[in-house]
Structure 1
Amino acid sequence: MKTKRICYACDLKDNPESIATYKRYHVTGNTWPEVTKNIKQAGIVDMQIYLTGNRMFMIMEVDETFDPNKKAKMDANNPKVQEWEQLMWKYQQGLPWAKKGEKWVEMEQIFQL
């Protein structure tokens, strides 16, 4: 199976307590099972989130079935995913150059060894 890597960035609100709470939600086993199931059903093979300060980087490995528009529709039609997204938005904030309401902004690859 051929995979593709997609990377995104998003900021957390710059508050140590808020960041700590967000991190606890993302410890293995704490993320809601409906959310992880939805991620896998969308064709996301692996997902990792890294944090420095309040800036996060998400690295996704997706298979050939992944379509971001299809994933957005799946998310919109899943009440538990919507509940998760609303909860996470309490801790997140858009990047300064993000479109209104946009959380995760796709990153441009500028180097590969």
Structure 2
Amino acid sequence: MKKPQDHKVKKYTEQDHLRIMKEFREGKNVDNIAATFLEVLGLYGVTVEETSALLFYVMKTVLQQPHNKSMLDQLHIDINAPTETSDGTVTPVDKVLDIQRIYLGMYYEKLSK
């Protein structure tokens, strides 16, 4: 019977983690991220309806992250409750989709420059 080898596991420092995260973010490629999403959706056989629900869930979850939630709080936007306006009720789903529409427009504007 073979004797187990003594594997050395590299211990990463906080500085190592920060450096790695910085490299990932600087090298971020939205096309590669999208391709990965599409590959996963294809592997699971996700329908268009399910894809819509998943993308909505992802956006809502991202908006609820502390740094994004504080921005929404400053703008007095609660994505978890309906809002009554003179035009009727704005549902939480409408709010998330409106915010997504705004950010998508800003992203396309950046790309066109």
Q: TM-score range by the shorter chain?
A: under 0.3
Higher RCO (C-alpha under 8 Å, 6+ residues apart)? 1
Structure whose alpha-carbon radius of gyration is higher? 2
Larger helix share, 1 or 2: 2
